[in-house]
Amino acid sequence: MPLPALALVLAAAVFHALWNLAAKHAGGDQRFMLLTALMVTVLWSPVGLWAAWGVLPHWGWLEWGFIVASAATHVAYFTLLLRGYRAADLTVVYPVARGTGPLLSSLAAVLVLGETLSHLGVAGVAGVAFGVFLIAGGPRLLRELRGAEGDAHRRLRVQRGIAYGAATGVCIAAYTVIDGYAVVVLAMSPLLVDYFGNLLRIPFSLPYALRDVAATRAAWRATWRWALVVAVLSPLSYVMVLYALRLAPLSHVAPAREVSMLFAALLGGRLLGEGDVRARLAGALCIALGVAALALG
């Protein structure tokens, strides 16, 4: 992996972990997703308009079709992620989602886009997968799932975390392949893919928010500060990843993004009090080594 691509991925990982922490603190639903989409539309409008100048007239049905598909999969992603954060620990939902998505993305890149992985690259993907297992709880998680440790409520919470994390990971794989194809094969601007994809999330989310306007206003008053953090950092982190895809194969970039687990392991364990810091740090180390193997492979 070229050094500039790796630098973009590492910077994106920091921002990604931070905005997920903010989303966890918010504990929001689709109303929160709509608020962040509205904030992104306003805050990033100068950049979006600058990137769109002279480009949009040349877009056809194919380009807009990819934007709509990206928006729809991102709505599903945010919906499942936020529900998961309300139902389980960040340090279960986040690693399962962030681990499942890139592994499926890498598989799709090999099967659909014709990319290849060296032996070192395969070892890197395996290291990421094992690190995800450790960060998500490792052996303790398996004991809780079997009922050998903890109470029924905790077991149900872990089960929900894994289910929501895995479903979120499928959405991550879907939008990663869709957006990766858009910026690499169709040569669409990463800025425009993210900005207009975000803009089109608004009509997808609006009907839910309009069902109870008073509740929506109350939710926005309670979570607007966290929404602002997400609105600033989420587009920044994702655009960096899309630019990295122009410099390196998707099968390398997608797993390498999971270096964000290093930061999520620390933040989730210490700031959210979700425990198992040593196991999570060991998992983060495996992920770091896996990312290094991908970078070298």
**Could you give the CA distance from residue 186 to residue 208 in angstroms, rounded to a whole number?**
33
Domain count, the chain: 1
Q: Is the pLDDT of residue 27 over 70?
A: yes
Q: Which residues have CB under 8 Å from 88's CB, separation 6+?
A: 157, 158, 160, 161, 164, 165
How buried is 152 (Cβ within 10 angstroms: 0-12 exposed, 13-18 middle, 19+ buried)? exposed
pLDDT at 65: 95
**280 close to 127: Cβ distance less than 8 angstroms:** no
**Could you give the CA distance from residue 113 to residue 107 in angstroms, rounded to a whole number?**
10
**Could you give the CA distance from residue 35 to residue 8 in angstroms, rounded to a whole number?**
27
Write out the residue range of the structural domain in which residue 65 sits: 3-296
Cα-only R_g, the chain: 19
Angle subtended by helix axes 213-245 and 152-184, to nearest 10: 50
Q: Is the pLDDT of residue 61 over 70?
A: yes
Q: Which residues have CB under 8 Å from 119's CB, separation 6+?
A: 297
Q: Which residue has the higher pLDDT, 39 or 119?
A: 39
Residue type, 219: A
pLDDT at 271: 47
Q: How confident is the model at residue 137 (pLDDT cuts 50, 70, 90)?
A: low
pLDDT at 47: 92
Is the torsion defined by CA of 154, 155, 159, 165 positive or negative? Answer: positive
Look at 107-111, 203-207, 254-258 and tell me which has the smallest mean pLDDT. Answer: 254-258
| Residue recorded with tokens 């390398």 | 252
Q: What percent of the chain has pLDDT over 90?
A: 28
pLDDT at 272: 45
Neighbours of 197 (CB within 10 A): 26
Q: Which residue has the higher pLDDT, 38 or 128?
A: 38
DSSP, res 114: -
Angle subtended by helix axes 61-87 and 201-210, to nearest 10: 50
DSSP H helical segments within the chain, as ranges?
Answer: 3-26, 30-43, 45-52, 61-87, 90-111, 119-135, 138-146, 152-184, 190-199, 201-210, 213-245, 250-256, 260-266, 277-296
Q: What's the pTM?
A: 0.78
pLDDT at 108: 76
Averaged pLDDT of the chain: 82
Q: Is the pLDDT of residue 195 over 80?
A: yes
Q: How confident is the model at residue 45 (pLDDT cuts 50, 70, 90)?
A: very high
Long-range CB pairs of 118-122, under 8 A, 24+ apart, other chains included? 118/297, 119/297, 120/293, 120/294, 120/296, 120/297, 121/251, 121/252, 121/293, 121/294, 121/297
